[in-house]
A and B are shown apart, each in its own frame.
Chain A
Amino acid sequence: MKTKKLIQLISQNLRRNRKNLVFSSIGIVMGISSFVFFIALGNGIQKVVSTEIFPIDANRIQVVTRTAQFGGLAAGRIIDDEIIENLEKLDGVFAVYPRMKLNFLATSALEGRDISPAAIQMLSRIPGITPAMVRAVRGVRMWLEIMGDGIDPRLVEKDVVAGSFQDPGPGKPIPVLLSRRMVEIYNGSFASARSLPRISEIVLPFLPAIPLTLNNSFIKRGVGGKREQTKAKVVGLSRHALMGGITIPLETARRLNQRFSGKQAAHTYDAAIVEVSSSDYLGPVQETVKAMGLDIDISERRMAEGVGLIVLLVTLGFSLISLIIVGIAAVSIAHTFFMIIFERKREIGLLRSVGASRADIRRVILGEASFVGLVGSIAGTGLGWAGCLIADLVVAGFLPDFPFKPESFFVYSAWLFVGAVGFAIFFCTVGAFFPAYRAAAIDPARALTGR
């Protein structure tokens, strides 16, 4: 039997049993649509987790000094210039990005009324900034203790959007990166509750400089030495930036540490990110690092993996339920086909008498079923997709902002759609398998006499 003829016959038959088939394929449509919905949702959440909440670089590890909890040995090696050099020389190491804490105290007194009229003017021109927000900004009185660290600018090249992230030298405003995670939390709950404008990369260039007082504390009395007034300019948001603090160029940190805490502070690091050229080197490098008396900080990775696993399990659970729905639908397809075959018994006998072989009959039934699966799953993926879009609209329109609220909760891939259609066709074909064999086994002589 030629494929074209097969398709013709199948479509003729399907048209005849339209009602039955539409009814029994509702299950397929529902199952596939929820399958698409949940997988896309799982992928979407996984994406938020892995790119926003716990971004993980496969080829990077964070090297830290050994703390007491690791074996209770005497405090491990501190990370100094020599260690950094040694790390750089390790086999497979592509780059080492040292990270240095600011070893002195600093404060910032944010006073809205001190912002210059020109800066206020600029602020009010940003689209989305309402007069109420400008008023709120002018009313700000926030005195902060500032923590900070310095990181290698190479690590954050891509994050710098409003100026340059290099040591500007003494007396100049210091370029600062803010933690993306921190800003998310600020935008999601802090800002909206206080009618303050949200911070995003777009508004950064227009933000007024932040006053900084170095070597100063509002809390600790008797900070020795001279304090120094300077300004900080936010040049970007980065996931490498310090959570709950500011991150400045490594050389600036070194210079300021040298100035306020001495030489030692300017040449020790509290961590170094080691980037390997291929993940094959991760294991050996970790071993060597431990042998050097240092440790690997895997807390972020652990958390990411933990959350990722939970998301994965929940997604799998829901997709399993969806597939079970599809499976049950396949049973109903099987049932429908048994019925159809019973009704068409005589007709099958007739087809056999005009030359259809058993295999032909089988093919027609299986073809009908897989076509039902195809149409049902296309409708299902469409419905699932529509569900995703509606869910996004509802979340965007009716839920308040919350940290890490993504633009879309769903990530689709071509594979998802192909897989969904494939599953449905597979299940329907399996469902029609027994009916098809039953139909092929019908004794034409008997069927034709109506026995």
Chain B
Amino acid sequence: MIQLDHITRSYGSGEGKTLALADLSLQIPSGAFVTIVGTSGSGKTTLLNIIGGLDSNYTGTARVADQDLSQQDDRTLSKFRSQTVGFVFQHFNLLEHLDALQNVSLPAFFSGQDEAQATARAEDVLVRVGLAHKLHSLPTELSGGQKQRVAIARALFGQPRLILADEPTGNLDTTTGAQIIALFESLNQEDGLTVIAVTHEEFLFKNATLKIHLEDGRMVDEPPA
């Protein structure tokens, strides 16, 4: 499902040049439940953004869901983001002036679904993440865990095959974090979605099928436990 070959991504140039990913190659099968771990600045977010088609300034090839992302223009990548992947962030990134339903149907502005369709879909996914009773709540009226559920619902809106989560539990207490991860597990197991999550709380991901450990932009083998 995901095939990265010799991906190199650097920021800046000359003296201040940082190598965020250095000749990285890896494969992730469809339906996997992946964690990406590593120290701060090791390139985890950079990797996620490349897989999600949000970043295209790299060398090497990235194939995701049968598309060669390194070859696509902005329009195609935008379409890819709206149809194939769903992003979940540490800081939720909900729009404060919109209620849960509107936040979730935000992608519809760009995908062209009509309003009734979009609202119906948004309701479905909000029910799926357990927020049937909060459809019209504003983000300020929701707890951290609920906000992250809204964000997950938004990621699910476009019926993606892949969920990319960047430290999704980073802003949540351990119990709430565990519930969010349970939600990801169920999306992975029941709905067959591939889930890739960057985390500093590896212990929460007991059911991960694959772990990618990055240091200085490279994959490192785990020291034997």
Q: Which residues of A contact B (CB under 8 A)?
A: 1-2, 5-6, 8-9, 12, 16, 346-347, 349-360, 443-445, 448-450
**A350-B93, A353-B81, A354-B154 as given contacts; A5 in contact with B112, CB under 8 Å:** yes
Contact status A357-B52, CB under 8 Å: no
CA distance A448 to B79 in the complex (A): 19
Interface residues of B in 71-121 (CB under 8 A from A): 74-75, 77-79, 81-83, 87, 89, 91, 93, 95, 97-98, 106-112
Cβ-defined contact, B106 with A353, below 8 A: no
User: Contacts A8-B109, A347-B95, A445-B55 given: A354-B81 contact, CB under 8 Å?
Assistant: yes
**Cβ contact within 8 Å between A355 and B79:** yes
Judge if B45 is at the interface, Cβ distance under 8 Å: yes
Q: Are B54 and A353 in contact (CB under 8 A)?
A: yes
Contact indicator A354/B55 (Cβ below 8 Å): no
What residues of chain A lie closer than 8 Å to B81, measured between beta carbons? Answer: 352-355
Q: Which residues of A contact B79 (CB under 8 A)?
A: 355, 357
Q: Which residues of A contact B83 (CB under 8 A)?
A: 355
What residue of chain B has the Cβ atom nearest to residue A13's Cβ?
B97
B207 is an interface residue with CB less than 8 A from chain A: no
A354 pairs with B82, CB closer than 8 A: yes
Chain B residues in the interface with A (C-beta under 8 A): 45-46, 49, 52, 54-55, 74-75, 77-79, 81-83, 87, 89, 91, 93, 95, 97-98, 106-112, 154, 157-158
Most B-side CB within 10 Å, residue of A2, A354, A443: A354
Complex interface: chain A residues within 8 A of B108 (CB): 5
List the 8 closest pairs (A to B, CB-CB), nearest first: A355-B82, A357-B78, A354-B107, A355-B110, A445-B49, A445-B55, A353-B87, A350-B93
- Alpha-carbon gap, A354 to B159, bound state (A): 12
Contacts of B158 in A (CB 8 A): 354-355
What's the Cα separation between A115 and B56 when bound, in Å? 100
Query: Is the pair B74, A358 in contact by a Cβ cutoff of 8 Å?
Result: yes
Judge whether A355 and B111 touch: CB under 8 Å.
yes
At the interface, is chain A mostly helix, strand, loop or mixed? Answer: helix
Q: In the complex, what residue of chain A is closest to B151 when comparing beta carbons?
A: A350
Q: Is the CB of A352 within 8 A of B54?
A: yes
- Find out whether the CB atom of A2 lies under 8 angstroms from the CB atom of B112: yes
Task: Indicate whether A354 sits within 8 Å of B110 (C-beta atoms), given known contacts A346-B93, A445-B54, A449-B45.
Answer: yes
Chain B min CB distance to A355 (Å):
3
Roughly how many angstroms separate A360 CA and B49 CA in the complex, as a whole number?
20
Would B109 and A356 count as touching, CB distance under 8 A? yes
Q: A residues within 8 A CB of B109? A: 1, 5-6, 8-9, 351, 356
Q: How far is the CB of A443 from chain B (nearest CB, A)?
A: 8
Known contacts: A350-B93, A352-B54. The answer to whether A357 contacts B112 by CB under 8 A is no
Please tell me if the beta carbons of A1 and B87 are within 8 angstroms of each other in the complex: no
Can you give 10 A-B contacts (C-beta < 8 A)?
A: A5-B109, A6-B109, A347-B95, A354-B87, A355-B107, A357-B110, A359-B75, A445-B49, A448-B54, A448-B93
Q: Complex: how many Å from CA A353 to CA B49?
A: 9
Inter-subunit contact B54/A360 (CB<8 Å): no
Q: Which residue of B lies closest to A443 (CB)?
A: B55
How far apart are the CA atoms of A353 and B77 in the complex, in Å? 10
Complex Cα distance A9/B75, Å? 19
Given A354-B154, A444-B54, 11 more pairs with CB closer than 8 A: A5-B108, A5-B109, A352-B81, A354-B87, A354-B107, A355-B111, A355-B158, A357-B75, A359-B75, A445-B46, A448-B54
CB-nearest residue of chain A to B11: A446
CB pair B74 A357 closer than 8 Å: yes
Specify which chain B residues have a CB less than 8 angstroms from the CB of A354 in the assembled complex: 81-82, 87, 106-107, 110, 154, 157-158
Whole-angstrom CA separation of A346 from B89 in the bound complex: 12
Write the nearest CB–CB distance from B50 to chain A, whole angstroms: 9
In angstroms, how far is the closest chain A Cβ from the Cβ of B137? 18
Cα of A315 to Cα of B139 in the assembled complex, Å: 55
**Max chain A C-beta neighbours (<10 A), residue from B77, B93, B107, B112:** B93
Q: Considering only CB atoms, which chain A residue lies closest to B157 in the complex?
A: A354
Q: Can you name the residue of chain A whose Cβ is closest to the Cβ of B91?
A: A450
Cβ contacts under 8 Å, A358 to chain B:
74, 78
Chain B residues with Cβ under 8 A from A6's Cβ? 109
Q: In the assembly, what is the distance between CA of A67 and CA of B75, in Å?
A: 79
Q: A354-B82, A355-B82, A445-B54 are in contact. Are A1 and B112 (CB under 8 A)?
A: yes
* Contact partners of B82 in chain A: CB under 8 A: 354-355
> With A and B bound together, what is the CA distance between A176 and B92 in angstroms?
90
Residue of A nearest to B48 (CB): A445
Residues of chain B lying within 8 A (CB to CB) of residue A8: 109
Contacts of B77 in A (CB 8 A): 357
Q: When chains A and B are docked, how far (Å) is the Cα of A351 from the Cα of B108? A: 11
Kindly list chain B residues whose C-beta atoms are within 8 Å of the C-beta of A359. Answer: 74-75
Minimum CB–CB distance from A438 to chain B (whole Å) comes to 16
Closest to B94 in A: A350
- Smallest CB separation, B168 vs chain A (Å): 14
- Among the interface residues A353, A356, A448, which one has the most CB atoms of the partner chain B within 10 A? A353
Question: Closest CB-CB distance, B87 to chain A, in whole Å?
Answer: 5
Q: How far is the CA of A104 from the CA of B106 in the complex (A)?
A: 93
Measured CB to CB, the nearest residue on chain A to B95 is A347
> Whole-angstrom distance between the alpha carbons of A356 and B106 in the complex?
10
Give A449 to B40 CA distance when docked, in angstroms.
13
Contacts of A357 in B (CB 8 A): 74-75, 77-79, 110
